[in-house]
A and B are shown apart, each in its own frame.
Chain A
Amino acid sequence: GAVVSQHPSRVICKSGTSVKIECRSLDFQATTMFWYRQFPKKSLMLMATSNEGSKATYEQGVEKDKFLINHASLTLSTLTVTSAHPEDSSFYICSAREFLPRDRSTDTQYFGPGTRLTVL
């Protein structure tokens, strides 16, 4: 299957600083990428959808000024957590949908390995 990478895999930062997480589709082009967040023992929650070259669409309750998303190319999306606070500590997971489906059916979302953010 298609491969999605994330960097960094783990980050610890001080309260008030900003953290950037990169998401790359390694062997396919992704017009659409998604960012999810997951708290311990909970399911994934969709934060936003980003399309290459346009502004991201945020889910209700997600602050767009706090979680800046940039989808600059067909293989790269970034999530910047601005002025991070301890309550932003979470597991952030990106996902990419392939531009040209490899098979006869619908597009498939592939997920990155996740980034664990700890804000002290």
Chain B
Amino acid sequence: DAKTTQPPSMDCAEGRAANLPCNHSTISGNEYVYWYRQIHSQGPQYIIHGLKNNETNEMASLIITEDRKSSTLILPHATLRDTAVYYCIANSGNTPLVFGKGTRLSVIA
């Protein structure tokens, strides 16, 4: 899997959009960008994934740059319950997910 780089922590005001960046400059053509989050003492929760095109679901939007070297996860209206560690992972889907350190997002009232 390609290495991903994320900021260790971020703050976001409640109700505002949270934009979480991820760098994956060595991503290969068959690797997807996956996002998971882990709320304290729980298992990781799948958020979204994409290959080239931007994706949106009920939880978030994923914006992938045209060269696929970076992406941004957008939580449009962050709530206190979105406080978690967010993991960006590049993976082909045929191998186990490997977790880095992620970004600790703190949503502040």
**Chain A: residues with CB nearer than 8 A to chain B?**
1, 4, 6, 34, 36, 43-46, 49, 91, 93, 95, 105-114, 116
Residues of chain A within 8 A (CB-CB) of B99 are 36, 43-45
Interface residues on B, range: 20 to 34
Given A46-B96, A110-B46, A114-B43, 14 other A-B residues pairs in contact with their CB atoms under 8 A: A34-B96, A44-B38, A44-B44, A46-B98, A95-B96, A105-B32, A105-B49, A105-B51, A106-B32, A111-B43, A111-B46, A113-B42, A113-B43, A114-B41
Helix, strand, loop or mixed for chain B's interface? loop
Helix, strand, loop or mixed for chain A's interface? strand
Q: How far is the CB of B63 from chain A (nearest CB, A)?
A: 17
**A-facing mask of B52-83, CB < 8 A → 1, else 0?**
00000000000000000000000000000000
Counting CB contacts under 8 A, is B97 at the interface? yes
Whether B44 lies near A111 (C-beta < 8 A) is: yes
Residues of chain A within 8 A (CB-CB) of B44 are 44, 93, 95, 111
**Chain B: residues with CB nearer than 8 A to chain A?**
32, 34, 36, 38, 41-46, 49, 51, 87, 92-94, 96-102
* Closest B residue, CB atoms, query A4: B43
Whether B96 lies near A49 (C-beta < 8 A) is: yes
- Give A108 to B47 CA distance when docked, in angstroms: 10
Whether B46 lies near A43 (C-beta < 8 A) is: no
Residues of chain B within 8 A (CB-CB) of A107 are 93-94
Residues of chain A within 8 A (CB-CB) of B101 are 43
Residues of chain B within 8 A (CB-CB) of A95 are 43-44, 96-97
Kindly identify which residue among A4, A43, A46 contacts B102, using a CB–CB cutoff of 8 Å.
A43
Q: Which 9 A-B pairs have the closest CB atoms?
A: A106-B93, A111-B43, A44-B99, A43-B99, A111-B44, A114-B43, A113-B43, A93-B43, A107-B93
- Give A108 to B97 CA distance when docked, in angstroms: 10
Residues of chain A within 8 A (CB-CB) of B96 are 34, 46, 49, 95, 109
Residues of chain B within 8 A (CB-CB) of A116 are 41
Q: How far is the CB of A28 from chain B (nearest CB, A)?
A: 13
